[in-house]
Amino acid sequence: MNSCGSMLGLRGLLLPPAGILLLLPFLPPLLLPAAPAPHRASYKPVIVVHGLFDSSYSFRHLLEYINETHPGTVVTVLDLFDGRESLRPLWEQVQGFGEAVAPIMAEAPEGVHLICYSQGGLVCRALLSVMEEHNVDSFISLSSPQMGQYGDTDYLKWLFPTSMRSNLYRICYSPWGQEFSICNYWHDPHHDDLYLNASSFLALINGERDHPNATAWRKNFLRVGRLVLIGGPDDGVITPWQSSFFGFYDANETVLEMEEQPVYLRDSFGLKTLLARGAIVRCPMAGIAHTAWHSNRTLYETCIEPWLS
């Protein structure tokens, strides 16, 4: 028996190569190589962190948009520190949100995307600083006061009805005031020394005040693949609105852009390094009020969707 007949198990048949080819359509399927499975691109998981007085319900439109444009994406809108609980100190929130995102990251070896709205953008930036092994591909900061807040808003009037922005530092820069999340990023440009000495959150993650973890936090923050900054002049809450792009007031209340800020010039937590490697995207959008950033379809398609790989 020739070797071909033995391999095919056809006893007593001496088949030339052409004969084997004629029999192939009638052979059991297991003898034929399986067709390769079609390749289906999978999207990285998306984690959403809400802002002050928000809840996961606020992001139902955003969730719908992601499901439409990136079907199959695993989206987690974290339901923590909702409503008035969002006034809890930000370091407490960072710990809680960190415990929630860690297992999601662990299950996503290719990385995750963070979409963090308003106050949540500061929570996420702190997470990127303190998490040594985070694998965030895109950190999308959605109208977040990254350089702080200095403006009268309805939130402030409700919290501190007898105070205006000019004297709110007396509350926020006290140990009692730092127990409120909004005071953790209150940034009074007329009392810079008090801010640097009293701020238990923003001054630390900005690297504006020396602390033992500054070098490690900067290294951790620079693990991020891309920083997407979104905001606009019609926001109505973030003051100045350029804080969403790391701009802020000087002592004369003139807005200095990111590249003019001392934290950028000193590269205290990595902004200058990120920009140098082309990892910062700025997406300004006019005509959007603060509470509409996560429900505006045009904004999503322009500033968010392109980065959800």
Q: CA 185 from chain center: how many Å?
A: 18
Residue listed under structure tokens 């920009």: 275
Residue 56 CB burial class (10 angstroms; 0-12, 13-18, ≥19): middle
Alpha-carbon distance of 189 to 73, in angstroms, equals 42
DSSP codes, 187-235: --TT-HHHHHHH-SSHHHHTT-S--TTHHHHHHHHTT-SEEEEEE-TT-
80 and 96 in contact (C-beta within 8 Å)?
Answer: yes
Give catalytic residues, as residue numbers.
118, 235, 290
Distance CA 94, CA 278 (A): 27
Give the length of the chain: 309
Tokens (6 digits) for 201: 């959150």
CA proximity to 119, closest of 71, 186, 42, 20: 186
C-alpha span between 85 and 92 (Å, rounded): 11
Listed in sequence order, the residues at least 6 apart from 197 whose beta carbon sits closer than 8 Å to its beta carbon are 173, 209
> Residue 153 class from Cβ within 10 Å (0-12 exposed, 13-18 middle, 19+ buried)?
middle
What is the SS3 assignment for 132? Answer: coil
- For residue 240, is the peptide bond before it cis, meaning its omega torsion is within 30 degrees of 0? yes
